[in-house]
């Protein structure tokens, strides 16, 4: 099954918010933007990070999922100075066992301070996964 998800946070840029491919949900990069019209909302690093994660969360919720279904996250930080704050805030949203993660710093130029994308597994939550 292949399905385009166009609910939740929207963008005026040429990409789909998410695509469901079988049991996997691929969520496009989410930034600090207005959910209705996609315009950038600047703020502190914390404000931009929280808005970005919450935008991702509403897209997942449109498919009946939560952040607990996320199995992989890629995070993009504008400044390496924000890594400690990133890790602190990230832990508030992603409980144990946490998804796999890649974090890249020194990217995004001057328009954004934070962006992230993810892959979610629809049938079950991370907390229900078998441990080896």
pLDDT score recorded for residue 8: 79
| pLDDT band per the 50, 70, 90 thresholds, residue 115 | very high
Q: What is the rounded average pLDDT of the residues 3-18?
A: 85
Mean pLDDT for the stretch of residues 114-132: 91
Provide long-range contacts, Cβ within 8 A and 24+ apart, for 108-113: 108/76, 108/77, 108/78, 109/78, 110/78, 111/40, 112/31, 112/32, 112/40, 112/48, 112/78, 113/32, 113/43, 113/44, 113/45, 113/48, 113/49, 113/77, 113/78, 113/79, 113/82
Give domain 2-122's CATH superfamily: RutC-like (3.30.1330.40)
Say what percent of the chain tops pLDDT 90. 81
pLDDT at residue 130 in the model:
76
Span 112-124, mean pLDDT? 96
Mean of the pLDDT values across residues 95-99? 96
pLDDT at 132 over 90: no
Counting Cα atoms < 13 Å in the Cβ hemisphere of 6 gives 8
| Pairwise CA distance, residues 9 & 53, whole Å | 11
How far apart are the C-alpha atoms of 60 and 66, rounded to whole Å? 6
Question: Tell me: the pLDDT tens digits for 12-41?
Answer: 778 899 999 999 999 999 999 998 888 899
């Amino acid at each position: 099954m292949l399905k385009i998800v166009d609910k939740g946070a929207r963008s005026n840029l040429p990409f789909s918010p998410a695509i469901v491919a079988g049991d996997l949900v691929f969520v496009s990069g989410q930034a600090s933007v207005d959910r209705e019209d996609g315009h950038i909302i600047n703020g502190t690093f914390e404000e931009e990070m929280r808005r970005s994660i919450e935008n991702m969360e509403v897209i997942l919720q449109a498919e009946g999922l939560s952040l607990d279904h996320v199995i992989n996250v890629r995070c993009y930080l504008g400044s390496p100075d924000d890594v400690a704050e990133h890790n602190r805030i990230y832990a508030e949203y992603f409980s144990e066992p946490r998804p796999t993660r890649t974090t890249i710093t020194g990217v995004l130029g001057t328009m954004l301070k934070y962006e992230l994308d993810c892959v979610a597994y629809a049938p079950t939550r991370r907390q229900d996964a078998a441990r080896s």
